[in-house]
């Protein structure tokens, strides 16, 4: 039974108000991080199971953390803990000994489970066997694997067109499973492959592909140790990529300077207490940011242009000393056009538009003026804006002006969020397929892949609501909680004939479903995957293009799991029968054979089985890293871009809201109700506001309010939030997702990438009404 709810992400908010507010921290990690990590591990897994697994996480020959995509060091890995607090929490989540059996689903209806918040749902445990919800039923019931595959196959084969189905992918999915998944989908006849990258770094891939010829970053971890300046924009490493702090500490030790650019002062950008070093244990911190530029939300482009204008002025004073003209002349196009654009700019006005005091902008320019080994990092604070693609092009502009690419200690670093989201795209999980790759698939597998572009996430949600989609198959993730415009998305999901989720644990998407629904349980990254008595390995690609093996070490808590690769292959066999060109049976039982197939299709994966068995794996080809640019528009040159500043217009009672993570979550997985770095305890339904805005709005800290968005004439509301005074620019606010995804309009997307604009949502704030 599908019960309509106003906010699927929080059914009973009145019961959640236990907020305690303390002073924000000025440093990250330290011994509190160790305590929190071990506490979660022991509570969920027991001492021996959890600690034993943690010693193998991110180690050569061990398993890859299922949390963020920050790379492992090539050589100097810690033998004790090559993971962070949130990595330990991710392990605790997946290695838990709690499991949901037939009895659990018999005792708990879908409606009852939907009344829980996301934190409570996620803490129930691992799904122990396939589950099926018949049309009109109130409870999930056990189903055999064979029957589950038959139901999916019958539904898929009954569709009028393959394009009536969409196949979503989460960033946790291994390279092997991703490749076989896209192969199944394309042999089925559609490119409808929305994925989590559509909602995060699609803007990065779009911009970088256009101007440098590859949709990835250009640096390796070792570059951080050789650089002069690191710029960190729209990223909070202390919470989202904590292992990055160790790299920043090493960079600082080697003499690098750090410029942090963020609307919030984040502990993980300010200072770091390394719990694996004596100083960190004793509470002695290492200062990280040498300069902290607190921009307004979406003030990044104005700030970059202001810095570039000041650098241009310095270049005119000392020609050839500030810009790298040898590199510019040899490797770029569009320089003169950019310079004409910058000459018209007023750095003082640009600084004002960015929200950063001009003296601080000038200090940033001085730090960069005589340096050429510069790394620029960014994440969702840059990508999830209407102008996200253009802001990234502006980042590239600064990099090209300084010649800060294609050399040690320099380059571009879009920091990926999920552990294999970049690998998914390398393995062709994308709603688009270029002609060269399509031809290669045809040569190797003997079928013609579909030529027309498929649906991305936003397009899929719209197609659900328009009745154009009948089936959603989700390989991992929590589709409903991750996507924008929650109620609109929920309405679309309810219109589907079948929803299928390959999952490790229960989540919100299992409870807002199609007429029929299936949950297919799979191994976690830390689980042993044994086929015919042989322990299997899979592979993942990190944020810097390194591919390495991952081998689970824990005994699964259920005997009824199948790997993602096995699920795809068995579904393909059931769906296609004899009408297939692929040996799905062999792929199901032999991952080495899968990798041999990958080696025939994916550039850089030749000798794949040999290379991933090397300690530390191997790096995929990266032309710009080596000074080789190949773009569709500009040939063998990298391109400067002339971008337009975004317009910021607000009514007197409007604010800009950005959605953020708490320290106690990873993406949509909620580990707990603590955000200790920001001083928030026991609660998630808060809105951070500037104290002046609170007073001008007639509010006080602690007031209960409702949040509204009216984009496109539709009223969206997130009820019962608590105002927290915070150091944030005026007219800017911040809230946690997924609680406020309900406010993110489906129609508000980044130009060029179609990424939902979750970092700039126009809201109105009103006193809470019962």
Query: DSSP states of 389-434 as a string?
Result: HHHHHHHHHHHHHTT-SSSTT-EEEE--SSTTHHHHHHTT-SS---
Provide the CA 67 distance to its chain's centre, in angstroms.
10
Per-residue confidence (pLDDT) for residue 221, from 0 to 100: 95
Per-residue confidence (pLDDT) for residue 58, from 0 to 100: 87
Per-residue confidence (pLDDT) for residue 280, from 0 to 100: 82
Q: How far apart are CA 237 and CA 325, in angstroms?
A: 33
Q: How far apart are CA 188 and CA 439, in angstroms?
A: 17
User: How are the residues of the chain apportioned to helix, strand and coil, as percentages rounded to the nearest 5?
Assistant: 40, 20, 45
Provide the CA 373 distance to its chain's centre, in angstroms.
27
pLDDT digits over 51-103, tens only? 888 888 888 888 888 888 888 887 776 766 777 888 888 898 999 999 999 99
Contact 343, 305 (CB under 8 A): no
- pTM of the predicted structure, to 2 decimals: 0.96
Per-residue confidence (pLDDT) for residue 282, from 0 to 100: 84
Per-residue confidence (pLDDT) for residue 9, from 0 to 100: 38
CB atoms inside a 10 Å sphere around CB 200: 25
All residues at 6 or more sequence positions from 581 whose CB lies less than 8 Å from its CB, including other chains: 187, 445, 446, 447
Per-residue confidence (pLDDT) for residue 60, from 0 to 100: 86
Contact 409, 227 (CB under 8 A): yes
Contact 604, 539 (CB under 8 A): no
- Residue 627 gets the label, from left (phi > 0), alpha (psi -120 to 50) or beta, of left
Per-residue confidence (pLDDT) for residue 17, from 0 to 100: 61
Q: How far apart are CA 392 and CA 92, in angstroms?
A: 35
pLDDT digits over 707-762, tens only? 999 999 999 999 999 999 999 999 999 999 999 999 999 999 999 999 999 999 99
Spell out, as residue ranges, where the chain has pLDDT lower than 50.
Answer: 1-16
All residues at 6 or more sequence positions from 756 whose CB lies less than 8 Å from its CB, including other chains: 199, 384, 457, 458, 483, 484, 744, 746, 748, 749, 750
Per-residue confidence (pLDDT) for residue 76, from 0 to 100: 73
Backbone phi, psi, residue 91, to 5°:
-65, -45
The SS3 call for residue 764 is strand
């Amino acid at each position: 039974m599908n019960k309509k709810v106003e906010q699927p992400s929080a059914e009973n908010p009145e019961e959640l108000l236990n907020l305690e507010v303390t002073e924000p921290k000025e440093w990250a990690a330290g011994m509190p991080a160790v305590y929190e990590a071990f506490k979660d591990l022991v509570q969920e897994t027991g001492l021996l199971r959890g600690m034993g697994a943690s010693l193998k996480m991110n180690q050569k020959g061990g398993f890859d953390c299922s949390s963020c995509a920050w790379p492992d060091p090539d050589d100097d890995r810690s033998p004790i803990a090559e993971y962070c607090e949130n990595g330990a929490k991710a392990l605790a989540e997946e290695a838990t000994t709690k499991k949901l059996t037939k009895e659990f689903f018999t005792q708990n209806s879908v409606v009852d489970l939907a009344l829980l918040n996301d934190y409570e749902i996620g803490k129930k445990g691992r799904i122990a066997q396939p589950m099926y919800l018949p049309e009109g039923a109130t409870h999930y019931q056990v189903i055999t694997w064979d029957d589950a595959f038959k139901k999916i196959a019958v539904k898929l084969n009954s569709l009028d067109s393959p394009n009536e189905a969409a196949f979503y992918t989460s960033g946790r999915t291994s390279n092997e499973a991703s490749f076989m998944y896209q192969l199944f989908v394309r042999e089925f006849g559609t490119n409808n492959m929305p994925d989590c990258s559509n909602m995060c770094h699609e803007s990065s891939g779009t911009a970088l592909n256009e101007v440098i010829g590859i949709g990835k970053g250009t640096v390796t971890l070792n570059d951080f140790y050789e650089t002069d300046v690191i710029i960190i924009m729209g990223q909070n490493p202390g919470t989202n990529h904590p292992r990055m702090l160790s790299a920043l500490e090493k960079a600082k030790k080697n003499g690098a300077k750090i410029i942090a650019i963020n609307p919030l002062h984040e502990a993980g950008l300010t200072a770091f207490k390394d719990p694996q070093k004596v100083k960190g244990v004793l509470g002695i911190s290492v200062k990280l940011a040498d300069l902290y530029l607190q921009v307004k939300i979406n003030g990044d482009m104005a700030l970059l242009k202001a810095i570039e204008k000041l650098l241009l002025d310095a270049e005119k004073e000392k020609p050839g000393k500030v810009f790298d003209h040898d590199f510019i002349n040899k490797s770029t196009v569009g320089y003169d056009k950019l310079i004409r654009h910058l000459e018209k700019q007023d750095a003082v006005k640009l600084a004002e538009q960015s929200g950063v005091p001009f003296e601080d902008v000038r200090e940033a320019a001085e730090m960069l003026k005589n340096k050429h080994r510069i790394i620029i990092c960014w994440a969702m604070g840059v990508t999830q804006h209407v102008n996200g693609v253009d802001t990234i092009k502006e980042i590239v502009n600064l990099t090209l002006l300084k010649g800060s690419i294609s050399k040690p200690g320099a380059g571009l670093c879009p920091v990926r969020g999920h552990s294999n989201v970049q690998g998914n795209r390398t393995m062709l999980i994308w709603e688009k397929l270029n002609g060269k790759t399509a031809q290669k698939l045809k040569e190797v597998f003997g079928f013609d892949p579909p030529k027309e572009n498929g649906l991305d996430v936003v397009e899929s949600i719209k197609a659900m609501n328009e009745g154009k989609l009948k089936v959603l198959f989700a390989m991992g993730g929590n589709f409903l909680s991750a996507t924008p415009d929650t109620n609109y998305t929920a309405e679309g999901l309810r219109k589907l004939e079948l929803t299928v989720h390959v999952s490790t644990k229960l989540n919100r998407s299992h409870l807002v479903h199609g007429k029929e629904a299936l949950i297919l349980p799979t191994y976690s990254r830390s689980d042993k995957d044994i086929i015919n008595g042989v322990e299997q390995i899979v592979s993942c690609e990190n944020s810097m293009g390194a591919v390495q093996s991952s081998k689970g070490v824990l005994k699964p808590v259920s005997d009824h799991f199948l790997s993602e690769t096995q699920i795809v292959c068995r579904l393909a066999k059931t769906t296609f029968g004899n009408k297939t060109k692929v040996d799905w049976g062999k792929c199901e039982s032999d991952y080495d054979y899968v990798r041999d197939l990958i080696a025939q299709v994916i550039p850089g994966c030749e000798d794949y089985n040999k290379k991933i068995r090397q300690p530390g794996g191997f790096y995929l080809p990266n032309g710009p890293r080596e000074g080789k640019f190949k773009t569709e528009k500009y040939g063998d040159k990298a391109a400067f871009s002339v971008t337009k500043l975004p317009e910021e217009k607000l009514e007197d009672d409007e604010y800009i809201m950005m959605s953020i993570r708490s320290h106690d979550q990873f993406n949509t997985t909620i580990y707990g109700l603590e955000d200790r770095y920001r001083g928030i305890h026991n609660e998630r339904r808060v809105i951070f506001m500037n104290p002046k805005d609170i007073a001008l709005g007639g509010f006080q800290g602690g007031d209960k309010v409702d949040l509204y968005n009216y984009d496109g004439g539709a009223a969206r509301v997130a009820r019962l939030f608590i105002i927290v005074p915070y150091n944030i620019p005026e007219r800017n606010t911040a809230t946690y997702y997924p609680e406020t995804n309900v406010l993110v309009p489906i129609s508000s997307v980044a130009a060029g990438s179609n990424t939902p604009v979750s970092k700039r949502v126009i809201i109105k704030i009103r006193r809470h009404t019962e």
